[in-house]
């Protein structure tokens, strides 16, 4: 079978294939342009592998199912048994509802005030303990079927739920003082704005070029009456120091910070090949929930 995606990154500790019987946790991000996954040796709290793939062309639902199932069955890392599997699903719509007003029996009505549930999708609810809210979103049935092929404990989150919870935890534990957090991926970025310790705005944007990213970012700040030159920004995700985006952001903001990795975990030496702020959401999934 011809697989319609290409490998974009591969970091694998040689010791991973040593036949160790240690508990292993798998984390997978299902993204608009592909997917990325990591493996944690839970016994040593040590990340041992990270791989990413992008689609050559956006697949239809049938092709997505067939290709992903085949890939998992054939991949030497993914066909191993895992004690726990964490999955994040990307969708552009995440409805945040405060805990005090959320009612499980009313979630379809609440979500329906903002968007329709597409055919062939299920409505899901993530509890965001750090935010004090529920996140409502839809997920295609075929993606849920993909998750079901992994035995053992499975945790499924919207990518925004996982990101918000991780950022709120990092702000408190690592004393981030920035009013803006920007999380950048190849095909989309997430913008979080804070008023003191409180999250005041979250939105995800699709983009094709760095000019699009800057336009959406500055438009959102303008709508909130915020001036970039007076603000600090924390940059997460796959934007390198030598990129045009990083150069532009460093010019416009008072302070730009690149945080380190979560020191709750250890990392194989192969991870030295990527910057510490890369794959932030993926490498914090094991702390979610």
d(CA 25, CA 274): 21
Task: Give how far Cα 3 sits from Cα of 76, 143, 186, 267, 279, Å.
Answer: 16, 18, 20, 30, 24
For residue 75, pLDDT over 80 is answered with yes
Which class is 1-174+260-289 in CATH? alpha beta
Question: What would be the CATH architecture of the domain defined by 177-257?
Answer: 2-Layer Sandwich (3.30)
- Say yes or no: do domains 1-174+260-289 and 177-257 share a fold: yes
Task: Give me the pLDDT at residue 19, please.
Answer: 53
- Reported as a pLDDT band with limits 50, 70 and 90, residue 17 is low
Place of tokens 């294939």: 17
Percent of the chain with pLDDT over 90: 74
Place of tokens 């003191």: 196
- Reported as a pLDDT band with limits 50, 70 and 90, residue 204 is very high
Q: Token pair of 124, please?
A: 């899901």
Q: pLDDT tens digits, residue range 24-51?
A: 999 999 998 889 999 999 989 999 999 9
Smallest CA-to-CA distance from 138 within 119, 124, 128 is with: 124
Q: Which residues of 245-270 are buried (b: 16+ CB within 10 A; e: fewer)?
A: bbeebeebbeebeebebbeebebbeb
Q: Token pair of 162, please?
A: 């996982």
Per-domain boundaries in the chain: 1-174+260-289, 177-257
């Amino acid at each position: 079978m011809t697989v319609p995606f290409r490998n974009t990154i591969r970091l694998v500790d040689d010791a991973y294939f040593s036949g160790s019987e240690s508990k292993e946790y798998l984390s997978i991000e299902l993204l608009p342009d592909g997917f990325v996954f990591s493996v944690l040796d839970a016994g040593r709290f040590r990340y041992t592998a990270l791989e990413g793939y992008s689609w050559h062309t956006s697949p239809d639902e049938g092709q997505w199912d067939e290709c992903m199932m085949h890939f998992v069955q054939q991949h030497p890392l993914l066909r191993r048994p895992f004690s726990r599997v964490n999955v994040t699903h990307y969708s552009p719509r995440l409805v945040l509802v405060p805990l005090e007003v959320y009612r499980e029996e009313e979630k379809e009505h609440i979500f329906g005030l903002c968007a329709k549930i597409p055919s062939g999708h299920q409505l899901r609810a993530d509890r965001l303990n750090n935010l004090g809210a529920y996140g409502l979103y839809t997920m295609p049935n075929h993606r849920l079927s993909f998750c079901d092929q992994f035995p053992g404990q499975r945790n499924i989150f919207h990518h925004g739920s996982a990101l918000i919870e991780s950022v709120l935890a990092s702000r408190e534990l690592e004393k981030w003082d920035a009013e803006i957090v920007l999380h950048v991926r190849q095909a989309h970025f997430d913008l979080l704005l804070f008023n003191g310790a409180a999250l005041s705005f979250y939105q995800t944007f699709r983009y094709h070029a760095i000019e699009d990213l800057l336009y959406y970012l500055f438009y959102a700040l303008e709508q909130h009456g915020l001036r970039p030159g007076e603000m600090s920004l924390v940059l997460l995700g796959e934007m390198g120091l030598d990129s045009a985006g990083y150069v532009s952001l460093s010019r416009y903001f008072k302070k730009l910070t690149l945080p380190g990795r979560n020191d709750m975990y250890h990392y194989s030496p192969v991870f030295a090949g990527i910057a510490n702020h890369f794959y932030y959401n993926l490498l914090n999934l094991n702390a979610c929930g």
